[in-house]
C-alpha cells in the first residue's frame, strides 16, 4: 500500500513532522490491492499493538517522530519552528544566503541522547540512496514523502540513515511505499546526497506499512479520543463555582 501525500506542501510539512506517523497515515491512506507483498508486514506502530513475530528484535520500542527531539526542550514549539523554516525554504528558493543559513540550522538540529543504543521501531517514507540487484540497501527514513527530493528535507534530527539487512531489503519498485524500520538507533552525523542526517540504524529490519496497520491505528486513535478526560468538567467540579443547568 501507499500513503497519499497532501497536495499542498505547507500543510504536509506541519502535519506529519514530529507527529505520530500512524495517526497521520489514517487520514491519508489509500489501499492499492495490487501492491507487492513479498516482504513481511510491519511489526508495530506507535498506535498499533505489535503482532507476534519471530523476526521482531527483542525489547524494541515503538516511537513517534517527535521522540527524536531532545527531551529538555518544548518539543511542540520546536516542531512548529521547524515547520516554519521549511516554509521559509519554499518561499526563499532564490535567496542562497538564507537557504544556507536554514540548512546550517537543520544540520545542527539536536538529537535525543536518551534513545542512543535503544532498539526502536519507526514508520516513515524512504529516500533511496543505494541499491543492489533491484534491492534497496540504503535509504533515508523521513516523515513525509519526497523529503530531500522534490520537497524540502526536514532537520537532521527528523531523518534516519538506514542500511537494510540483505534479507530485509525491499525491491526498488517499492521505493515510494511507506515502511517500518526497526533496529538499534545510533546518534551519528552523516552527509548524504540528499541531506545531512544525525541518526543511523545499521543493520535494520525493513517492512512495508500495511492497510491493516492503518485500520488498527484508526481504531485505537478513536479509543484514545474517547478515553481522554473531560478537563472542562473536571475543572468545574474542582473549582469554586459549580455550573448549574439553565
Residue with cell 531523518: 159
- Rounded Cα distance between 154 and 152, Å, is 7
Residues 6+ apart with CB under 8 A from 83: 13, 14, 17
Q: Can you list the alpha helix ranges (DSSP code H) found in 58-198?
A: 75-91, 96-107
Q: Which residue ranges in the chain fall short of pLDDT 50?
A: 1-54, 232, 234-237, 241-246
Strand bridging mode 160-164 / 2-3? unpaired
- Rounded Cα distance between 202 and 204, Å, is 5
Which pLDDT does position 27 carry in this prediction? 38
Which pLDDT does position 213 carry in this prediction? 83
Query: What is the pLDDT of the chain when averaged over all its residues?
Result: 75
Residues 6+ apart with CB under 8 A from 158: 17, 18, 65, 68, 82, 109, 142, 143
- Rounded Cα distance between 107 and 181, Å, is 22
- Rounded Cα distance between 77 and 83, Å, is 10
Which pLDDT does position 225 carry in this prediction? 65
Four-CA torsion 212, 64, 138, 211, nearest 10 degrees: 10
Which pLDDT does position 15 carry in this prediction? 44
Residues 6+ apart with CB under 8 A from 239: none
Cα torsion angle, 233, 234, 237, 242, sign: negative
User: What pTM did the predictor assign?
Assistant: 0.71
Residues 6+ apart with CB under 8 A from 31: 1, 211
- Rounded Cα distance between 194 and 176, Å, is 16
pLDDT in tens, 60-110: 899 999 999 999 999 999 999 999 999 998 888 889 999 999 999 999 999
Which pLDDT does position 230 carry in this prediction? 56
Which pLDDT does position 173 carry in this prediction? 96
Amino acid at each position: 500500500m501507499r500513503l497519499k501525500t497532501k497536495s499542498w506542501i505547507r500543510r504536509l510539512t506541519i502535519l506529519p513532522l514530529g507527529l505520530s506517523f500512524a495517526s497521520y497515515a489514517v487520514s491519508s491512506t489509500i489501499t492499492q490491492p495490487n501492491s507487492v507483498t513479498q516482504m513481511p508486514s510491519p511489526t508495530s506502530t506507535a498506535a498499533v499493538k505489535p503482532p507476534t513475530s519471530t523476526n521482531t528484535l527483542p525489547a524494541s520500542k515503538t516511537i513517534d517522530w517527535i521522540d527524536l527531539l531532545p527531551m529538555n526542550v518544548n518539543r511542540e514549539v520546536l516542531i512548529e519552528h521547524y515547520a516554519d523554516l521549511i516554509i521559509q525554504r519554499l518561499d526563499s528558493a532564490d535567496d542562497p544566503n538564507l537557504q544556507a543559513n536554514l540548512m546550517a540550522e537543520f544540520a545542527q538540529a539536536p538529537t535525543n541522547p536518551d534513545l542512543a543504543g535503544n532498539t526502536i521501531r519507526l514508520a516513515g517514507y524512504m529516500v533511496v540512496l543505494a541499491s543492489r540487484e533491484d534491492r534497496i540497501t540504503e535509504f533515508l527514513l523521513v516523515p513525509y514523502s519526497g523529503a530531500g527530493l522534490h520537497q524540502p528535507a526536514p532537520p537532521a534530527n527528523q531523518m534516519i540513515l538506514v542500511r537494510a539487512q540483505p534479507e530485509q531489503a525491499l525491491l526498488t519498485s517499492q521505493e515510494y511505499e511507506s515502511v517500518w524500520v526497526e533496529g538499534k538507533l545510533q546518534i551519528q552525523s552523516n552527509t548524504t546526497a540528499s541531506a545531512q542526517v544525525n541518526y543511523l540504524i545499521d543493520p535494520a529490519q525493513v517492512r512495508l506499512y500495511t492497510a491493516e496497520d492503518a485500520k488498527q491505528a484508526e481504531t485505537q486513535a478513536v479509543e484514545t479520543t474517547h478515553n481522554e478526560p473531560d478537563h472542562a468538567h473536571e475543572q468545574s467540579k474542582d473549582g469554586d463555582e459549580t455550573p448549574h443547568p439553565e
